[in-house]
């Protein structure tokens, strides 16, 4: 009887052992979940070692390039390189040294005073013209860049303001401005400029003036 009872007990234990799911070794390594705290805002991405960059470049058949390296203005131009994007800029972005003179110009709301200032600065610009220079294409410039004089920049700003003041002005206002400027056709035209900024990776922001553009006052 005891032997029968022991046999039944052993059979039950064996059955229970077979019913237990097999535990894999990988299960022991996969318990729980690993959590990594988020990086603080503004944390720079990890740097790739130079030897790894060289290895990647070797696989791709290209030379490694450091995006933060400064641009050498004397380096030859790559004809396949993408052109830097241009954005709008102002005269004081182009040359901050004229900010005082620009700020001293009359406002658009005073056409009579603007006409006097325009005639004065236009005469100064005629006696101190700018000149064309070779542009640094690597820095977003055109092959030939016009470098206007300070007087040309202020005269152009005065002309743009006077043109804005005369648009929609009444006949009396236009007549007063015309009397100040005189009847000569050349007294009613001026040279103006547009300005563009170029952000060059690894080098900074550069602002350029356009070539002089002939404009006429709306008289």
Q: Is residue 208 part of a domain?
A: yes
Burial class (CB in 10 A: 0-12, 13-18, 19+), 149: middle
In a domain, 52, yes or no: no
Inside any domain, residue 5:
no
CB of 188 within 8 A of CB of 133? Answer: no
DSSP run (H or E) holding 145: strand 144-147
Give the single-character DSSP code of 73.
Answer: T
Establish if 128 belongs to a structural domain: yes
What pLDDT is attached to residue 87?
79
What is the per-residue pLDDT for 161? 97
How many CB atoms lie under 10 A from the CB of residue 153? Answer: 25
Does residue 167 lie in a domain region?
yes
Provide Rg for the chain, Cα atoms. Answer: 38
Q: What is the block-wise mean pLDDT of the chain (219 residues), using blocks of 10 residues?
A: 46 48 42 49 61 66 51 52 69 97 97 97 97 95 97 98 96 97 95 95 92 96
pTM of the model: 0.62
Q: Domain count of the chain?
A: 1
CB 96 within 8 A of CB 163: no
Nearest by Cα to 213 from 162, 165, 156: 156
Domain membership of residue 96 (yes or no) is yes
CA–CA separation, 120 and 131 (whole Å) = 21
Cα dihedral across residues 154, 106, 213, 122: positive or negative: negative
In degrees, rounded to 5, the angle at the alpha carbon of residue 138 between the alpha carbons of residues 135 and 140 is: 70
Is residue 60 domain-resident? Answer: no
In degrees rounded to 5, what are phi and psi of residue 191? -105, 125
Pairwise CA distance, residues 197 & 141, whole Å? 10
- So what's the pLDDT on residue 203? 86
Dihedral-angle region of residue 202 (phi above 0 means left; psi in -120 to 50 means alpha; beta otherwise): left
In a domain, 119, yes or no: yes
State which residues form the domain around 108. 82-216
- CA 140 distance to own-chain centroid: 11
Strand 144-147 vs strand 189-192: parallel, antiparallel, or unpaired? unpaired
pLDDT at 85: 63
């Amino acid at each position: 009887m005891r032997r029968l009872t022991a046999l039944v007990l052993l059979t039950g234990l064996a059955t229970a052992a077979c019913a237990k799911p097999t535990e894999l070794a990988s299960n022991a390594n996969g318990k729980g979940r690993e959590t990594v705290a988020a990086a603080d805002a503004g944390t720079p991405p990890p740097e790739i070692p130079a030897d790894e960059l060289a290895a990647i470049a070797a696989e791709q058949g290209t030379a490694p390039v450091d995006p933060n390296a400064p641009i050498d203005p004397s380096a030859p131009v790559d004809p396949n390189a993408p052109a830097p994007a241009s954005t709008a800029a102002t005269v004081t972005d182009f040359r901050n040294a004229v900010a005082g003179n620009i700020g001293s110009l009359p406002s658009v709301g005073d056409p009579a005073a603007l006409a006097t200032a325009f005639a004065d600065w236009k005469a100064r610009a005629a006696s101190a013209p700018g000149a064309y220079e070779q542009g640094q294409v690597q820095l977003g410039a055109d092959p030939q860049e016009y470098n206007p004089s300070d007087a040309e920049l202020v005269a152009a700003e005065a002309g743009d303001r006077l043109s804005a003041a005369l648009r929609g002005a009444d006949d009396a206002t236009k007549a007063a401005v015309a009397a100040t400027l005189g009847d000569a056709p050349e007294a009613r035209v001026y040279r103006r400029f547009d300005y563009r900024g170029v952000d060059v990776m690894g080098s900074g922001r550069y602002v350029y003036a356009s070539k002089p553009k002939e404009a006429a006052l709306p008289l």
